[in-house]
């Protein structure tokens, strides 16, 4: 019978989500503005002391990126759940975890990639030098997909629950801790002249682990939500 190839189904999921994001550009712009504003508030609050700013820069940018990702998690599954698109997706004759990867990838393109691209500009506000900026971009490039992957589990678990926005934060933030530590650590250690390779490798390992486990966990949570 008619059955989409795995690639077709995956591409279809990504295409629809990106098309929807294009129609609702304001949603995307909001989380980007949130990141810019949060990252700009710190230099204003802490004061213009370059040494202090350089010390806190990596941590502040990473926390801001993490919160921006958290804000956008509600968009991953909630709308699809409410309008019935999710049940149609579950009934596609392809493994659900693969389709979940498609949705998370689209989410990352829309909410993670802008963060990565903007980060060097924001890093300049904190007086980070060229090498540190490079490590910052690299760490975010490895770290933000992990944040989306882990976040998807939380977003799927809270589907149909009242007050899900706060609940997803409580569920997901503790799991973000290792990513935050390694990500900010990579930048700080490269500024200290020790190179960020060790932390970047750990971030890479986190990404691989989450790529492996998160789609299954998310798919299981989605099936429970639809029962």
Partner 1 sequence: MLQTVALSCRRGDRRLFSDLNITVQPGTLLAVVGENGSGKTSLLRMLTSLLSPEEGAILWQGQDIREQREQYCAQLTYIGHLNGIKDDLTAMENLSLSASLVGDHCDGPAAHAALEAVGLRRQAHQLPTKVLSQGQKRRVALARLWLSARTLWLLDEPFTSLDTAATGLVTEQLHAHLKRGGIAVVVTHQEVGLPSSIVQRLRMNG
Would you say 2 or 130 has its CB closer to partner 1? 2
Please report, as residue ranges, which positions from 60 to 89 form the binding site for partner 1 (by CB under 8 A).
79, 82-85, 87-89
**Considering only 12-20, 135-143, 151-159, 161-169, which stretch makes contact with partner 1 by CB under 8 A?**
12-20
- For position 26 contacting partner 1 by CB under 8 A, the verdict is no
List the structure tokens of 34.
């949130």
Q: Is 4 helix (H, G, I), strand (E, B) or coil?
A: coil
From start to end of 45-153, where are the E strands? none
Q: How many CB atoms lie within 10 A of CB 24?
A: 13
Torsion angle defined by CA atoms of residues 31, 36, 38 and 44, in that order, rounded to the nearest 10 degrees: -160
> In the set 3, 40, 160, 170, which binds partner 1 (CB under 8 A)?
3
* Piece of 6-14, 125-133, 139-147, 151-159 that binds partner 1 (CB under 8 A): 6-14
CA distance 218 to 195: 35
Task: Summarize as ranges the residues that interact with partner 1 (CB under 8 A).
Answer: 1-5, 8-9, 12-13, 15-16, 19-20, 23-24, 79, 82-85, 87-95, 226-227
């Amino acid at each position: 019978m008619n059955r989409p190839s795995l690639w077709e189904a995956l591409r279809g999921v990504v295409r629809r989500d990106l098309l929807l994001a294009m129609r609702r550009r304001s949603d995307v712009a909001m989380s980007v503005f949130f990141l810019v504003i949060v990252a700009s508030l710190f230099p204003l609050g802490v004061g213009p002391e370059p040494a202090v700013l350089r010390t806190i820069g990596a941590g502040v940018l990473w926390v801001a990126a993490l919160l921006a990702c958290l804000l956008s998690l509600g968009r991953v599954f909630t709308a699809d759940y409410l309008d019935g698109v999710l049940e149609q997706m579950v009934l596609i004759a392809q493994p659900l975890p693969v389709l979940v990867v498609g949705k998370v990838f689209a989410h990352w393109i829309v909410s993670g990639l802008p963060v990565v691209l903007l980060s060097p500009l924001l890093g300049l506000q904190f007086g980070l030098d060229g090498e540190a900026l490079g490590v910052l971009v690299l760490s975010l490039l490895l770290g933000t997909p992990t944040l989306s992957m882990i976040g998807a589990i939380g977003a799927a678990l809270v589907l149909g629950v009242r007050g899900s926005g706060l609940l997803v934060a409580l569920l997901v933030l503790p799991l973000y801790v290792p990513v935050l530590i390694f990500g900010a650590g990579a930048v700080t250690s490269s500024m200290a002249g020790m190179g960020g390779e060790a932390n970047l490798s750990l971030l890479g390992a986190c990404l691989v682990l989450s790529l492996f486990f998160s789609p299954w966990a998310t798919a299981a949570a989605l099936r429970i939500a639809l029962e």
